[in-house]
A = this chain, B = another copy of it.
Amino acid sequence: MVMKQRELKPETLAKAASMLKAIAHPVRISIIRFLEHGKKKTVTEIHTNLGIEQAMASHHLVILKDRGVLASKREGKNTWYFLKHESLSYLLKCISDCCEEE
């Protein structure tokens, strides 16, 4: 018995594309890697560590949050950002493996 692949609904497809598009940027990949393994970081920690402007960091973080990649929690003056799905680590590993093998 052959299993027919389950079709993705157009909305799921669009959501997946939009999420992938959010991830598909060098700086944002770096941000995600910086947050792997459940780490929570502030905007300042992120922009300092990755060597990008504060406004840039904030901007990219908003994109990642809007598309459902990150979540955040405000605490006083700080906003802590973290991965919403730890499985994204796996996704990045998969892509970098694909890249390296050529």
Residues of A within 8 A of B (CB): 5, 8, 10, 12-21, 23-26, 28-30, 33, 36, 68, 84-85, 87-88, 90-92, 94-102
Contact assessment for B19 and A95 in the assembled complex, using a CB-CB cutoff below 8 Å: yes
Q: A16-B29, A20-B20 are in contact. List 12 more A-B contacts (CB 8 A).
A: A10-B26, A12-B100, A16-B95, A16-B96, A17-B25, A18-B24, A19-B95, A21-B21, A85-B97, A87-B94, A87-B97, A91-B95
Complex CA distance for A24 and B95, rounded to whole angstroms:
13
Identify which of B8, B21, B30, B98 contacts A96 (C-beta below 8 A).
B8
The distance from the CB of A69 to the nearest CB of chain B, in whole angstroms, is 8
